[in-house]
Structure 1
């Protein structure tokens, strides 16, 4: 059965609704000291604000070992009335003081997708991996190899962090070329951080989903180029592959701290997209595309 795996169970994709396709409720990294997202009340308030703006679903891309607080997610889903999707997977090595054994990564990912995070928590519905800056190191290759094995075993989609938006072509060559993951199961993240229209069109022709996220990082070529990038891709016939996310990674970026936060997608970006491309395309990007991108034909694992 085709479904989106949320923290409260499998969901008919038609019920997902307006979706923040890439964000973080909880996150901890040695690269962001003192900026942890670790406050349950603040996470709950952000979800309330997003729902008040018209949001109905949030996909948390925080992977293994980065303070994702998976046990809190079902309660937050129930209290907010939003559909929440959790992630398994592994980020770049620099985000960890201690890494799990790389030889057992596929088994770890499969367990978190099918049994539950931590063995008794909610099941993940996404595998998060990461490339490097303009290339893939050995850690990235081994992590993506494990992610591909987990995809083939379960059907789960794979979301990719691209460092400053780079190395997406190399990721596709590895995941879809060598490791035979269908492009429609791959979500390429942070492409707004490297706003090269020619590369975006090349990536779109692969059939993968293209995620543009991070209005909390206005210094990273996000907002002021984002609309032009989306218009170019939609007008080239790739509107059905576009995704939007907030990618809130610090407490200061939350709406409750006067940052853009999750509601920004709907209060600021959506009206601009609708004005440029029409209400139908805005709804396509925020509602219908996530419903397809995060859906999988989940396979039983014995």
Structure 2
């Protein structure tokens, strides 16, 4: 039976509740100096605020080597009552310093499988998805190597593969590579940041291919496209793809947390949900938030 692998163990898809399908409790990167998500108490407060707004689950897309703090996640989940899903995988090479990936490139798939089935380091916390990343309208050698390892790890475990699309671009190239060349079923692929490139043709083609489409934000850097989100989702729903859609907050900096004055995780339910309900109706939005994530992140995990 398919289950979602959370940091407290595997749960049935219907147990997730309302889900923030793409966010971060902890995150560090040389590209975000001074903006790291490291504070455990702030992470706990953010999760509690999300829970108070009606949230039931958060999927953390923070991959290997970017400050996941996997050992803290079970305690945060227990204390707040929010399901948390952790990630393995790799981001773009620019998010790592010169030594962070030393000796790793030749055993990526091995590491991903171990983190999915045995646990992340000494924490024992098992990841529930593989996060990888493309570039702006391109897939460089690092992306191809990482995606090849992700495909191998998927075939070994059934884990879903979540993809950072740079500025929302390259979705079809990613599907050609992961699904066409390496045989990952399209319904096991989650394409992230599609709101950052509101191209209805590319969105529809990705949905027709069978992938899940994740729309996340708001974002200070990408605010120019935030206002197009309701129309993009309505178009896809009207075309029959409401069951392929996911929503997330993608909080990547300390200042963006609601507990520090930013929109944070609760914004997804406090502001985004009612705006989408006005555009699409409450029923489709409820399914996007509470039903689709269970299917997208569930797998028949090896015992």
Q: Same fold (TM over 0.5)?
A: yes
Checking the alignment, whether the CA contact within 8 Å between 1:46 and 1:262 is kept in structure 2 is: yes
Q: How far did 1:118 drift?
A: 0.4
2:244 equivalent among 237, 241, 244: 241
Stretch deviating more after TM superposition (39-48 or 274-283): 274-283
1:151 equivalent in structure 2: 154
Checking the alignment, whether the CA contact within 8 Å between 1:207 and 1:241 is kept in structure 2 is: yes
Structure 1 residues 204-247: Cα deviation after superposition (integer angstroms, max 9, x where no partner): 11000000002133634342111111111111111000000000
1:279 and 2:287 aligned: no
Structure 1 residues 147-173: Cα deviation after superposition (integer angstroms, max 9, x where no partner): 000000000000000011111111000
Q: How many residues align?
A: 300
Structure 1 residues 103-159: Cα deviation after superposition (integer angstroms, max 9, x where no partner): 100000000000000044200001000001110000000000000000000000000
Any unmatched runs of 5+ in structure 1? none
Checking the alignment, whether the CA contact within 8 Å between 1:112 and 1:119 is kept in structure 2 is: no
2:302 equivalent among 274, 299, 302: 299
1:223 equivalent among 212, 221, 226: 226
Task: State TM-score, norm by structure 2.
Answer: 0.97
RMSD: 1.0
1:31 equivalent in structure 2: 31
1:93 equivalent in structure 2: 93
Checking the alignment, whether the CA contact within 8 Å between 2:196 and 2:226 is kept in structure 1 is: no
Task: State TM-score, norm by structure 1.
Answer: 0.98
1:166 equivalent in structure 2: 169
Structure 1 residues 79-99: Cα deviation after superposition (integer angstroms, max 9, x where no partner): 000100000000000000121
Stretch deviating more after TM superposition (91-100 or 50-59): 91-100
Which consecutive aligned stretches of 4+ in structure 1 deviate over 6 angstroms post-superposition?
none
CA distance in 2, matches of 1:83, 1:230: 25
CA distance in 1, matches of 2:222, 2:107: 38
Checking the alignment, whether the CA contact within 8 Å between 1:214 and 1:222 is kept in structure 2 is: no
1:78 equivalent in structure 2: 78
Any unmatched runs of 5+ in structure 2? none
Q: Secondary structure at the match of 2:121?
A: helix
CA distance in 2, matches of 1:231, 1:198: 14
Q: Secondary structure at the match of 2:228?
A: helix
